[in-house]
Amino acid sequence: MRKIWDIPGGIHPPENKTQSLGQGIATLPLPDILILPLGQHAGAPAKPLVAVGDRVLKGQLLAEPGGFISAALHAPTSGTVSAIEDRAIPHPSGMSARCIVLLPDGNDEWCPHHGVADYRAASPVALLGLIRDAGIAGLGGAGFPSAVKLGPKQPIDTLIINGTECEPYITADDILMRERAADIVEGVAILAHILGNPATLLIGVEDNKPQAFEALEAAARGTAIEVVEFPTKYPSGGEKQLIQILTGKEVPSGKLPADLGIVCQNVGTTYAVQRAIVHGEPLISRVTTVTGRACGRNGNYEVPIGTPIRHLLAHNAFDAARCARLIMGGPMMGFALPDIDVPVVKTTNCILAGSHDEFPPAPPAQACIRCGLCAEACPASLLPQQLYWYAQSHNLERLEAHNLFDCIECGACAYVCPSNIPLVQYYRAAKGEIRQQDAEKKKADHARQRFEFHKARLERAEAEKAAKREARRLAAEEAQAKVAGDAIPASGPGSADDLIQAAMARAAARQSSPEQQQAKLERGLEAARNRLQVAEAKLAEGEGEGLDTEPLDRLRARVEEARVKLAEAERKLAEFTPATSPAPSATAARVVDKLQGAPRDQLERSITTLRERIATTEAKIAEASDETIAAALRNGLDKQRAKLRDAERQLADLGPADASPEQPAADAPTLDAAAQAIARAQAKAEAMAAMNPLEKLDAALEGLDQRIAKARDKVAAAEAEQSEHLDTLRAALDKLEAKRADTARQRAELAGQGAH
Amino acid sequence: MVFARSSSPHGHAPLDTGAVMRCVLLATLPGLVALTWNFGWGSLINVVLASLVALGLEAAIVAARGRPVLFYLRDYSALVTAVLLGLALPPLAPWWLVVIATLFAIAIAKHLYGGLGYNPFNPAMVGYVVVLISFPVQMTTWITPRDLLAEGVSLPGLWQSLQIVFPVLGTPELSDGFTGATPLDAFKQYSGLLVEQIYQREPLFNQAEIASYGWEWVNLGFLAGGVWLLYKRIFTWHAPLAMLAALTLMAALFHDGGSSTSGGSPLLHLFSGATMLGAFFIVTDPVTSAASTTGRLIYGAGVGILVYCIRVWGNYPDAVAFAVLLMNFAAPLIDNYSLPRSYGHSRRRKATEKKP
């Protein structure tokens, strides 16, 4: 005798099995229509291989597996494919899904098929392939593709055949075991061969099926198969529970029986495997119990898959008026069907048409008094009352800590609950909530990762730019230092030339050609315009759709940003245009000039350039139609003016040159002001050269007087304006006065000499 | 043709909350009979009065909360609270004492927390403790068991009892001296004497069969009711047995061979005061106790230990109410650390565990 373990919890609901055991496995006339859902199994739906209008033979492949975890679908009888369309399928949600609709021709004509002569000679892989081709999926209820379950990576030492059938009312497995025990035993032997002959082969049967047990015992005599009987208790037939009863082992949470070296198969599946291997018949029919007091006759039928339930009920004196609930499966875990136009599928072990006195409407739920009856009934040793408490408050963390996902939804807790709380429903909802939350978290994590990568990319680009800027700045400083070094005779004679060469090369490299540069700027401008258009279009669209304020604000911000970028691009192009006029060589020459020129010359030159730029910018402002652009231009203008003031101040700091030109009135946009000043200075110098010393000094004095007068005016003006250049101007005036005093002294000396 | 859509399971066991509560009510009968036999009509009047007040209050509050009154009255929970309170209060207590206790039990302890199933504290014990602290004189006046009364003294009859409870009915003509101490009270008053000496002096003890006269029968009555409830699987053995075991253990540990510092024998503690009422009718209140069987073991043991501590070293002769309320506080904490080991897990988890 094999040791039997007990499972915690469990209940003993009324069995209600005898009423459907009055007859053996019967058959019914073929229905007029067969509806074959493509997804009758766990996993991906099958892919249809037939077209509407095709004539098919019994056993012909209609749809191939749609993935690794999927199952094929075959024609249960010969006939014509009349449609491939969405139809109501047996599902708790009452949803529709794609089905192949077959109109039987009544001939029940088989396609050619043949079994394996000696499965022991066949390789397990080949047999697994046949099982897969036969479209076999767990007939016990879960519908998991059998070929996948029978091909575990782990070594298997125990094969358990589940003949428990612990749900009340259902007798499909019971009758199958009674009538076809030999076939089942052969099926077990095939499965054992496929799994590499596990040491232990068990068939587990509850002790409320003594006839089935005896039939199996007799059939298994002389084989390695052990038929084990154990006390009836719901839910002993759960895979995990049966494993515990027969082996004392628990399947670790989140793992599979195969991790313990155990494979579990339902007796119906085992029988289907035997049909497929020995007879070459795919899974096209199954034994289904039709029971419940709303049916005048109860019994078990071998029905083609796809038979409408309406057909089954019609042959069992179904009285719709008496029917309170139409359940597919048993009363504990089955689901209610909304109507009778759904088909029998591979997992349909029972159609229970319960009358009103069998299934009275559930009384309203009362408050949970935490009586703990649910915890006593739970086969997974959970605390259903706590799970209910936390499910109500959506405390998902607590739910997981209380092992919600080890709940097998057997319904024992809800069955015993004295407050009639639909506990299982709460757990299903909570599980859904947690799954959804996990999915959202995964999505959010992905998005965050992407954002972080994006940010990192931007930062890297920015860092590269900054590094380039820094390198340029260092190079410029170096160059200036060398120029300064040149002025002092410390630096070598060749260094200035080298520097110039380098600067020229850099300038050439930076602006490959002005045309290219301009083209680039124009492209930038075009792109900026496009971006603005796109952003404006999106904003308009968003406003049209009546989006929330937040996304609209974002769109508006984007438009504004695009406008600013466009203005910037336009400004850049605008600034670029005058600078491009000189040829590349001219640019180089300017650099040479810049580097070679004395500070005063440089300043004067830059002042001139700045004035030119200011004039251009002012013209542009006048032309600018767009306020934003004008604002940007004004901004640029302010900067240019500031630069100009700076340059002028520096020039003033340098002090008046011997032939220093008068400072022209500020902001006078004279293109050749500097040239005129130079010309004036030159003319003055020539005139002076022609004079005698005394006259020269007189002229100088006169010039100085004029300059002093002007300088005084400027100081006065600066004082009035509170100008920041006041000190500089005063210093200049002092210098001029000192010079005048000096010149006057020279003249007096000269005049004194002349008088002698 | 459209049929009812509902989630599995589709069947249901016949037991409902009302049936559970009715069983509990039925199980209090032996104890009530023993109380009435030994101490007269007082307890019965308490129970009836408390029940009427409780049902009225329950109906009024449920109606005020806008819920179906009959549906809630049919769960019998208010009646259970009232009956337990009536059994716990001293017989022949003035009517207002019963009313105040019931008011606190139903209105404050139960409905202010959300009604049945949501109250963290045992309502009957809240009501009891409120009047015990507020009206110590009335609450410590007990009756001498019928057979220990002096010659010529008898327990008040039904009408006299009603007159004592409701003074408005007139002044009863009574023989004096039917009030007396409870065994636990008496034991405390004799402190300093050897246990043997106490037993010699006190008829409550020396007339007793196993623990204390009269009271032992009351406790046996509640024990009988409790065992019947266990048999009916209304609750599990964990909490009551843990409480009784802890109390016995404490009493055995501190019995001290019956010396003058002895806390009394285990039998005295088991069969005196409210021990059995507490063990089978108060500690087993599922709403306010711990959820898992392990939790209930801890919870029951905690009550047993506290009962002994307060009885022997505290100010009150009996302590079930205080002990239960203190452990009510602890129940959620116990729940966090007493989860069962679920199928497929190698160890118990904590309720506070975070996702790895």
Q: Per residue in B125-155, pLDDT tens?
A: 999 999 999 999 888 888 888 888 877 788 8
- Side by side, which strands form the sheet with A47-48? A47-48, A61-64, A73-74
Contact A86, A95 (CB under 8 A): no
Place of tokens 């014990």: B125
Distance from CA of A370 to the nearest CA of B (A): 5
- The DSSP call for residue B355 is P
- Give yes or no for A95 touching B (CB within 8 A): no
The one-letter amino acid code at A112 reads P
Chain A, nearest residue to B351 by Cα:
A401
Please report the pLDDT score of residue A655 as a whole number. 62
The answer to whether A115 touches A79, Cβ cutoff 8 Å, is no
Name the band, by pLDDT with cuts 50, 70 and 90, for residue A667: very low
Calpha distance B301→B287 (Å, rounded): 17
Alpha helices in A248-295 (DSSP H): 267-274
Structure confidence at residue A722 (pLDDT): 75
Q: How many CA atoms lie within 13 A of B319 on its CB side?
A: 24
- Chain B residues with CB-CB distance to A357 below 8 A: none
Shortest CB distance from B342 goes to which of A94, A361, A382? A382
B4–A324 CB contact, under 8 Å: yes
Q: In this predicted model, which residue has the larger pLDDT, A586 or A683?
A: A683
Asked if residue A72 lies in contact with residue A56, where contact means CB atoms within 8 angstroms, the answer is no
| Dihedral over alpha carbons A726, A730, A731, A733 (to 10 degrees) | 140
Beta bridge partners of A288: A301
- Which whole-number Å values give the CA distances from A113 to A187, A279, A281, B271, in the listed order? 19, 8, 7, 81
Res. B215: pLDDT tops 80: yes
pLDDT > 70? residue A587: no
The complex scores an ipTM of 0.90
Q: Which of A373, A388, A435 to substitute to test the interface with B, most B CBs within 10 Å?
A: A373
How many of the other CB atoms lie within 10 Å of CB of A143? 20
Cβ contact, residue pair B3, A326, below 8 Å: yes
Q: What DSSP state is assigned to residue A145?
A: B
Peptide bond into B9 cis (omega under 30): yes
What residues in B contact A425, CB-CB < 8 Å?
A: 7
Residue B176 is given by DSSP the state S
**Least confident span in A264-268, A305-309, A592-596, B351-355:** A592-596
| pLDDT above 80 for A636 | yes
Please give the Cα distance from A518 to A504 (Å, whole number).
20
Quickly count helices (H) and strands (E) in chain A: 22, 17
Which token pair is A160? 């358990």
Question: With a CB-CB cutoff of 8 Å, which residues 31-90 of chain B face chain A?
Answer: 71, 75, 77
User: What is the per-residue pLDDT for A507?
Assistant: 64
pLDDT digits (tens, 9 = 90+) for B99-126: 999 999 999 999 999 999 999 999 999 9
Does A545 touch chain B if contact means CB atoms closer than 8 Å?
A: no
For residue A589, is pLDDT > 60?
no
**Distance from C-alpha of B308 to C-alpha of B301, rounded to nearest angstrom:** 11
Can you give the pLDDT at residue A668? Answer: 46
Alpha-carbon gap, residue B249 to A172, rounded angstroms: 56
Task: Please state, as a whole number, how many other Cβ atoms lie within 10 Å of the Cβ of residue B295.
Answer: 27
CA B57 to chain A, closest CA, distance in angstroms equals 19
Confidence band for B49, pLDDT divided at 50, 70 and 90: very high
Which chain B residues are Cβ-neighbours of A382 within 8 angstroms? 340, 342
Asked if pLDDT for residue A134 goes beyond 70, the answer is yes
- pLDDT for res A600: 73
Strand (E) or helix (H) holding A536: helix A514-545
Please give the share of chain B, as a percent, with pLDDT higher than 70. 99
Query: Highest mean pLDDT: which of A36-40, A595-599, B244-248?
Result: B244-248
The two three-digit tokens of residue A140, written as one number: 């016990």
A630: helix, strand or coil: helix
Domain ranges of chain A: 18-355, 373-438, 691-756
State chain A's mean pLDDT as an integer: 86
Q: What's the CA gap between A565 and A288, in Å, rounded?
A: 73
Higher pLDDT, B199 or A277: A277
Distance (Å, rounded) from C-alpha B217 to C-alpha A482? Answer: 116
Cβ–Cβ < 8 Å for A405, A431 = yes
Express each pLDDT in A160-211 by its tens digit: 999 999 999 999 999 999 999 999 999 999 999 999 999 999 999 999 999 9
Q: Report whether A418 contacts B17 (CB < 8 A).
A: yes
Of A68, A74, A69, A70, the residue nearest A49 (C-alpha) = A74
Phi, psi of A302 (to 5 degrees): -90, 110
Mean pLDDT score across all residues of chain B: 90
**pLDDT at residue A590, as a whole number:** 57
Tokens read off for A737: 């006065």
pLDDT of A19: 92
Q: Which long-range contacts (CB under 8 A, 24 or more apart) does A474-478 make?
A: A475/A506
Residue A595 pLDDT greater than 60, yes or no = no
CA A139-A142-A148 angle, to 5 degrees, is 80
Per the DSSP assignment, residues forming a β-bridge with A99 are: A37, A85
Per-residue pLDDT, A581: 47
Q: What is the CATH number of domain A18-355?
A: 3.40.50.11540
- A453 to chain B, closest Cα gap in Å: 26
Apex CA A608: angle with CA A606 and CA A611, to 5°? 110
Average pLDDT over residues A669-678: 62
Distance, CA of B4 to CA of A361 (rounded, Å): 9
Half-sphere exposure of A369 (CA within 13 A, CB side): 26
Three-state DSSP class for residue A254 = coil
Tell me if residue A103 falls in helix, strand or coil.
Answer: strand
Indicate the helix (H) or strand (E) that contains B321: helix B320-336
The token pair that represents A508 in the structure block: 């050439």
**Exposed e or buried b for every residue in A408-417, given b needs 16+ CB within 10 A?**
bbbbbbbbbb
Contacts of A16 in chain B (CB under 8 A): none
Peptide bond preceding A112 in cis form (omega within 30 of 0): no
Nearest to A184 by CA among A158, A147, A154, A159: A159
d(CA A56, CA A62): 8
Q: At what angle do helices B42-64 and B95-103 cross, to 10 degrees?
A: 40
Q: pTM above 0.80?
A: no
Q: Is B40 left (phi over 0), alpha (psi -120 to 50) or beta?
A: left
| B199 Cβ contact list (under 8 Å, min separation 6) | B205, B206
B13, B19, B236: residue with CB nearest A372: B236
Q: Do A614 and A644 contact (CB within 8 A), yes or no?
A: yes
Cβ–Cβ below 8 Å for A367 and B118: yes
HEC sequence for A414-453: HHHCCCCCCHHHHHHHHHHHHHHHHHHHHHHHHHHHHHHH
pLDDT in tens, A367-393: 999 999 999 999 999 999 999 999 999
Which of B1, B16, B20 comes nearest A340 by C-beta?
B1
- Contact predicate A725/A652, CB 8 Å: yes
Instruction: Quote the tokens at residue A169.
Output: 């009312």
CA distance B268 to B210: 8
* Number of Cβ within a 10 Å radius of residue A207: 11
Please give the torsion angle defined by the CA atoms of residues B220, B222, B224 and B230, in that order, rounded to the nearest 10 degrees.
Answer: -140
Non-local CB neighbours of A507 within 8 Å, separated by 6+ positions: A587, A588, A591
pLDDT(A690) > 80: no
Q: Nearest CA to CA, how far is A394 from chain B (Å)?
A: 15
Across the interface, whether the CB atoms of A418 and B8 are under 8 A apart is answered no
Distance from CA of B47 to the nearest CA of A (A): 23
H or E element at residue A353: strand A350-355
Q: Between A678 and A243, name the one with better pLDDT.
A: A243
- Smallest Cβ distance to A337: which of B3, B116, B349? B3
* Residue whose C-alpha is closest to residue B273's, from B201, B322, B239: B322
pLDDT for position A582:
46
Across A13-108, the runs of DSSP E, i.e. the strands, are: 25-26, 34-37, 47-48, 55-56, 61-64, 73-74, 79-88, 96-104
Instruction: Quote the distance between the C-alpha of residue A107 and its chain's center.
Output: 53
